Amino acid sequence: MIDETLTSPDALVAFAEGLAKIASSGGGAKALATHLAGALNAAVLVEDGEWRHVALAGSGTRSMPPSIRDLVAGALPNPDGFVRLELPGEPHDALALRIRGGDAPLGWLSIFSNGGGLASRQGAIRLAAAAIAVELSRDAGGGKNRRKSFWDRLLSRSYDDPIEAKDDASSRGIALATGYVAVALEAEGLEEPSAAAKFGDLRRIALETLRAGSGEIVVLERGGGFVFLCPAPLEVDAQNVRTAATLIPRAATKAHFGLKVVGGVGRSATAIEAYKTVDEARESMFIARRLFGGSRVMPYDDLGIYPLLLRGGATSEELRAFGQRVLAPLRAYDEKHQTELVRTLRLYFDVGQNVKTAAAELSVHRHTVFYRLRQIAEISGYDLDSAHDQLTLRTAMAIDALNPR
Amino acid sequence: MHSTHVNGERKAPSKRDILRIAKEREVRYVRLSFVDILGIGKNVTIPVGELESALEGKVTFDGGSIDGFVRGEEADMMLLPDLATFAVYPWTAGSENVEARLICDIATPDGEPFEGCPRTTLRRALEDAGDVMAAVRAGLEIEFYLFDLDADGAPTVRTSDVGSYFDSDESDRGEAARLDIAKSLEAMGLSVASAHHEHGAGQHEVDLNEGPLLATADALLTTRTVAKHVAARHRLHATFMPKPLETCAGSGVHVYFTTSAPGDGAAADEAGELTEETLFAIGGLLEHAPAFTAVCNPTVNSYKRLVAAWDAPIYTAWSYRSANALVRVPSPQGGVQRIEVRSADASCNPYLAMAVLVASIAHGMRHHLLPGDPLLGSTYDLNDRERDSRRIRMLPKSLRQALAELDTDVVVRGALGDHVYHAFRDAKLEEYERYRRAVHPWEREAYLRVY
């Protein structure tokens, strides 16, 4: 059902205020499109002047094209600037409006109604187009668009050579950091009317929290959320990004009643391999939602075996690397201090986590076993009382046993 | 500190209360105490008949004669007693000359707070940090040596005590003196958490519970004074010199900060994870540590303690367990999370040291400075690569280096204020220069025969 009141002046004013609020909180084209889609009960597509996808919002049962490029080719707009889109087999309205910044064409806004009646809501569509125009012209006006396309290219692995990537970056005014850590975030359970505003809030809160680090953070809209690519030249920067990211849900709860956040953090990667950290961040977010109940941001490093299970078909190389990564801190400690932490852990699992039996097998007092288990937890970073962490350690042990070093 | 028995939870008694207590306890003299910029305790003693006038802030002294204070005609400074600090010296109780003390702020002749007063400097730093640190409290672990006196009553570096950590020997004079020190501190209203033998022979430690920050700085000053007086009565010398013996552990002051009151659980969340406030506080401390070292470790001798031995911190690292990290975060006790700063020593000016620590923490909280991950194991094992990748810096190795670090840090300098910063820096550069020119016994031993 279309909101009948959207045709009244008061409803239009309220709609316009909604747009302004989104724009002022940094919501971007996607959030503006979501606002329009919610008001019209329609799907909304935004494309830029070069037919690149900018945003898709709303939903419906009808089919819609990935781009309206072919549909508007040669079509003549009616006097008020709208183009009626003819879609075979679709009974409902579809309209497109050119987005303009002054006289310059900046892109297209197209609306695919689920119930018709778009003609009487052209005012709302014009207002949304004007607001989106501001966003697109802002992007196109400075170097932002050029910068954004660099990151799109980088993450789609279009550069074979790090030097080529670096040269292209510097020609666009981007100084690449030696390392990056990605943070993927989505707001959970958003109700349509406030979704756009909360989307903007999430972006703002995340940037404020992550800004503790150094350098410019690249913000990418992905799916229904964001990926923040944070410069992390040193290990400590990666650590701090991870810590800051895990603080975001609390900051969001404090700042915005009801804004729940789920997310993931990738490992540190070089610029040319930034796609890896982005993929890891998004996988971690997925795992955080599916296995840990959401409302938290989880670092890839803390997820143990789950990312490998998620990917499916991990190579034996990846499995071996995983086993070594999990056990490496314990091995290093054993080597340096002549201790038996790895052996103790293996035995502890072998005897069904019975400390008394483990102590007898190791010929030590059971307090020694408790002490070692505490050391193992601290050094490995895995909690032996957590079923998730146990799974990781047990799997690492099994992989290690099957693949002798 | 008569009004309550909890460290610093002191509701100031009224002037009338103080006059009454002085009469009841038969006080004859009152010491009006303050510290100079170098942290040396000073006092003006008045007969009890002048107490009422002193409580009105009518006692003045010649500030021109105090290091780092004022010059020329501005010399007459006023002593404004903090009524909450009134306490009778327990070792004088029952004698003919019962003494009490009041810790004072210093004011200019027209009654304005004097910008060169260290206690006023701390008050200002606390006021500046009030927006983020209203709930922050601090406790102390204070280490010191008790040495024998020679036949003439002069201090030696000998001790007849051969104990180590937590040892107990009833025949040990140090043991008896330490107990007396703890008793005296309690009698003066400080909340002593524990007192025990430390690592070195003759080395002891007194631990004070958390209290408000100004009261905690007062407590360090009080402990230094009390320990010296009480030790002397046991024919011992209490020294807070950071490193009196090359081959034994040095004496430090560990400052414990809590960012929350007991029970509100704000410093650690349900999962036992540190809250952002705690992390930011640690971040601020690590960021400013090289600069605040000059203030927290202000003597040439301080840097003989900050070496890779006896668990003295040498890097800007933090850890949960490592005893030689600069900042250690021990397991929460009673739901309260503490942050332990382990570098300072008792040769510091307690007020200036607290001011720079507070400013560092507040800066971390305001600017969301994160400290990286905690370090596992001993910091002494860190290699260059690990330090670089974690951006861990070395603490200054000399007073000269520390002063250079201080010069570059606007936050720490800002906490001191211009007057104190310049007076402190000038005095310390001169001290370092005197040390640099001195020919030490080590040099004669190493070179006299060889060259």
- What would the pLDDT profile of A39-61 be if each residue is shown by its tens digit? 888 888 888 877 777 788 877 65
Specify the CATH number of the domain B137-258: 3.30.590.10
Residue A118, in any domain of the structure: yes
- What would the pLDDT profile of A162-181 be if each residue is shown by its tens digit? 888 888 888 777 888 899 99
Average pLDDT over residues B125-143: 92
> Nearest CA of chain B to the CA of A303: how many Å?
17
Asked if the Cβ–Cβ distance from B373 to A244 is below 8 Å, we say no
**Average pLDDT over chain B, rounded to an integer:** 90
**Do residues A8 and A137 share a domain?**
yes
**Do residues A9 and A113 share a domain?**
yes
**B320 vs A contacts (CB less than 8 Å):** 378
**Do residues A196 and A297 share a domain?**
yes
Quick one: three-class SS letters along chain B?
CCCCCCCCCCCCCCHHHHHHHHHHCCEEEEEEEEECCCCCEEEEEEEHHHHHHHHCCCCEEEHHHCCCCCCHHHHEEEEEECHHHCEECHHHCCCCCEEEEEEEEEECCCCCECCCCHHHHHHHHHHHCHHHHCCCEEEEEEEEEEEEECCCCCECCCCCCCCCCCCCCCCCHHHHHHHHHHHHHHHCCCCEEEEEECCCCCEEEEEEEEECHHHHHHHHHHHHHHHHHHHHHCCEEEECCCCCCCCCCCCCEEEEEECCCCCCCCCECCCCCECHHHHHHHHHHHHHHHHHHHHHCCCCCHHHHCCCCCCCCCECCEECCCCCCCEECCCCECCECEEEECCCCCCCCHHHHHHHHHHHHHHHHHCCCCCCCCECCCHHHCCHHHHHHCCCCECCCCHHHHHHHHHCCHHHHHHHHHHHHHHHHHHHHHHHHHHHHCCCHHHHHHHCCCC
- What would the pLDDT profile of B89-123 be if each residue is shown by its tens digit? 999 998 999 999 999 999 988 889 998 999 999 99
Chain B contacts to A (CB-CB under 8 A): 276, 279, 320-321, 367-373, 376-377, 381, 388-391
What is the pTM assigned to this prediction? 0.78
Residue A355 is part of a domain; what is its CATH number?
1.10.10.2840
**Do residues A23 and A13 share a domain?**
yes
- Residue B399: what pLDDT? 98
**Do residues A195 and A284 share a domain?**
yes
Q: Is the pLDDT of residue B6 over 70?
A: no
Using 50, 70 and 90 to split pLDDT, how confident is the model at B285?
A: very high
Task: Pick A184 or A70 by higher pLDDT.
Answer: A184
**Chain B residue with Cα closest to A235:** B389
Residue A308, in any domain of the structure: no
**Do residues A106 and A147 share a domain?**
no
**Domain layout of chain B by residue ranges:** 15-114, 137-258, 270-441
Task: Pick B377 or A213 by higher pLDDT.
Answer: B377
Chain A contacts to B (CB-CB under 8 A): 209, 211-213, 234-236, 239-240, 243-244, 247, 250-251, 329, 333, 336, 378-379
Asked if the Cβ–Cβ distance from B370 to A212 is below 8 Å, we say yes
**Do residues A202 and A151 share a domain?**
no
Architecture (CATH level 2) of domain B15-114: Roll (3.10)
**A336 vs B contacts (CB less than 8 Å):** 381
Last residue of a domain, one of A303, A337, A357: A303
Percentage of chain B with pLDDT > 70?
91
Last residue of a domain, one of A270, A303, A336: A303
**Do residues A336 and A369 share a domain?**
yes
> Nearest CA of chain B to the CA of A250: how many Å?
9
Percentage of chain B with pLDDT > 90?
74
Count of domains for chain A: 4
* Residue of B376, B387, B392, B393 best to disrupt the A interface, most CBs of A under 10 A: B376
Residue A273 is part of a domain; what is its CATH number?
3.30.70.270
- What would the pLDDT profile of B338-380 be if each residue is shown by its tens digit? 999 999 999 999 999 999 999 999 999 998 999 999 998 888 8
The reply to whether B137-258 and B270-441 are identical in fold is yes
Determine which of A248-257, A389-398, B130-139, B355-364 has the lowest per-residue pLDDT on average.
Answer: A248-257
A248: containing domain:
177-303
**B370 vs A contacts (CB less than 8 Å):** 212-213, 239-240, 243-244
**Do residues A287 and A243 share a domain?**
yes
Last residue of a domain, one of A242, A271, A303: A303
- Residue A26: what pLDDT? 66
| Homologous superfamily (CATH) for B270-441 | Glutamine synthetase/guanido kinase, catalytic domain (3.30.590.10)
Using 50, 70 and 90 to split pLDDT, how confident is the model at B5?
A: very low
- Residue B167: what pLDDT? 60
> Nearest CA of chain A to the CA of B351: how many Å?
30
Q: Is the pLDDT of residue A217 over 60?
A: yes
**A293 vs B contacts (CB less than 8 Å):** none
**Do residues A345 and A380 share a domain?**
yes
**B373 vs A contacts (CB less than 8 Å):** 236, 239, 243
* Residue of A247, A268, A333 best to disrupt the B interface, most CBs of B under 10 A: A247
Determine which of A115-129, A197-211, B105-119, B259-273 has the lowest per-residue pLDDT on average.
Answer: B259-273
